[in-house]
Amino acid sequence: MSIKIENNKDNPSFCIDMALRSSRNFSKKILFPSFEQNSRQNSNIRIVEVGPRDGLQNEPVNVPSDIKIQFINKLSETGLKTIEVTSFVSAKWVPQMGDNTKVYSGITKKDYISYPVLVPNVKGMEEALKVGVKEVAVFASASEGFSRKNTNCSTQEGINRIIELMKIAKDHNIKIRGYISCVVGCPYDGIINTASVAGVAEALLSNGCYEVSLGDTIGVGTRKTIENLLKDLLKITTADKLAMHCHDTYGQALVNICTALEHGITVVDSSVSGLGGCPYARGATGNVATEDLVYMLHGMGMETGVDLKKLIETGRFISDFLKKDSASRVNKTLYSKYFN
Ligand SMILES: CC(C)(COP(=O)([O-])OP(=O)([O-])OC[C@H]1O[C@@H](n2cnc3c(N)ncnc32)[C@H](O)[C@@H]1OP(=O)([O-])[O-])[C@@H](O)C(=O)NCCC(=O)NCCSC(=O)C[C@@](C)(O)CC(=O)[O-]
């Protein structure tokens, strides 16, 4: 059975199946019973696009700086309000991000878009300051095993480093966003308990992060585990201080994001074309694709301010450069309808 939707901005004027209608009506009332109530608070969702950083950091082929700059400039035209541009980590650890200064300085910045960069320590913070960053993202792990593999230190040592760099950031009026990695599972330590996540969240928030993004780094979370995590976190903080960052290894990312929306969270990280992965989290695939996220949110009647057609074109630009298929099902389905 098909219905024709004339004014749906995310779909060409062709017949789409019941899935879209379902996402507008059925899912609100039946799949997620509490959704109707929370969606009134959640009608505007902020998407944090992490494609240029998380999306590219694990790519084996060197992406030239001018391609990264074109990619970010295209993302800036899509209506996204936050685009994580690069990271100021050690190039010995993540060679793909070694051109951070060139990329950050080379992009055309719009004053209504925030362009955070990832920093691990004081050295990264100082380098980021030299190019005039206005927002940084810091990261700590809820698991010891991942902390050691990713940053060569324990979780507490990582937090201590972050506290030092946050002092500098605050002195320069730089906004600070936090990430917690491995919030439900770790490739080295297995299942992570919610108390460990809550401890890191408290440390990051109390030292100056305006929000903390919950990273399901290896994408093992399910509706149940995310629900349990959020129930516990919401005892120590409020939903407006939390964001979701779901890798889609097991295809659970959208469901987990819906679970977060139900709990009042309104900020979601994603990566165009589903690019991404951490070099130190073996087996993890990319983030939830921004195209799929936007399609879902618009289908649910939520506003993101993002132009899906431009996003699809941008996703295709970077996938074509990388010579890989887009991991976004929405991109795969709609690209030819929009552009051929
Ligand atoms: C933290 C370190 C630096 C410790 O690495 P280390 O080797 O212990 O550090 P070090 O202090 O001994 O320094 C070693 C060398 O790196 C240099 N160095 C030191 N710091 C910097 C810096 N900031 N920028 C540039 N260079 C730096 C330093 O100067 C020195 O150079 P050398 O003297 O040998 O020539 C390293 O482990 C590192 O860079 N790790 C980052 C790994 C990474 O970027 N992982 C991916 C991001 S996290 C992620 O993806 C998860 C997330 C956020 O997306 C959320 C989720 O998905 O869950």
Give this prediction's pTM.
0.90
pLDDT of the chain along its 340 residues, tens only? Answer: 333 333 344 443 333 333 333 334 434 443 443 444 444 345 699 999 999 999 999 999 999 999 999 999 999 999 999 999 999 999 999 999 999 999 999 999 999 999 999 999 999 999 999 999 999 999 999 999 999 999 999 999 999 999 999 999 999 999 999 999 999 999 999 999 999 999 999 999 999 999 999 999 999 999 999 999 999 999 999 999 999 999 999 999 999 999 999 999 999 999 999 998 888 988 789 999 999 999 999 999 999 999 999 999 999 999 999 999 999 999 999 999 999 8
pLDDT of residue 8: 42
Q: Which of 85, 89, 220 is the pocket-test mutation for ligand 1 (most atoms within 8 Å of CB)? A: 89
pLDDT of residue 43: 63
pLDDT of residue 244: 98
> What length does the chain have?
340
Whether residue 221 contacts residue 185, with contact meaning beta carbons closer than 8 Å, is answered with yes
Question: DSSP of 168-234, one letter per residue?
Answer: HHHHTT-EEEEEEE-SSEETTTEE--HHHHHHHHHHHHHTT-SEEEEEETT----HHHHHHHHHHHT
Q: Check if 278 is active-site.
A: yes
pLDDT of residue 169: 98
Structure tokens at 98: 């070694």
Structure tokens at 22: 């379902």
pLDDT of residue 46: 97
Structure tokens at 246: 């779901």
Domains and CATH numbers, the chain: 44-339 (3.20.20.70)
Among 35, 99, 33, 34, CA closest to 64: 99
Separation of 160 CA from ligand 1 center, angstroms? 15
155-159 long-range contacts, Cβ below 8 Å, gap at least 24? 155/196, 155/200, 158/120, 159/200, 159/203, 159/204
Cα separation, 334 vs 312, whole angstroms: 8
Q: What lines the ligand 1 site, CB under 6 Å?
A: 54, 57, 87-90, 92-94, 118, 120-121, 123-124, 127, 139, 150-152, 179, 181, 215, 217, 245, 278, 280
Closest C-alpha to ligand 1, atom 36: 151
- What number of other Cβ atoms are within 10 A of residue 34's Cβ? 10
Beta-strand runs (E) in the chain: 2-4, 15-17, 46-49, 82-83, 86-87, 117-118, 135-141, 175-181, 185-186, 190-191, 211-216, 242-246, 267-270
Please report the atom of ligand 1 found closest to the CA of residue 161.
1
The question of ipTM being above 0.95 is answered as yes
Structure tokens at 86: 């690069």
Structure tokens at 211: 């929000």
Across-strand partners of 47? 268
pLDDT of residue 281: 86
Cβ-based burial of 258 (10 A; exposed 0-12, middle 13-18, buried ≥19): buried
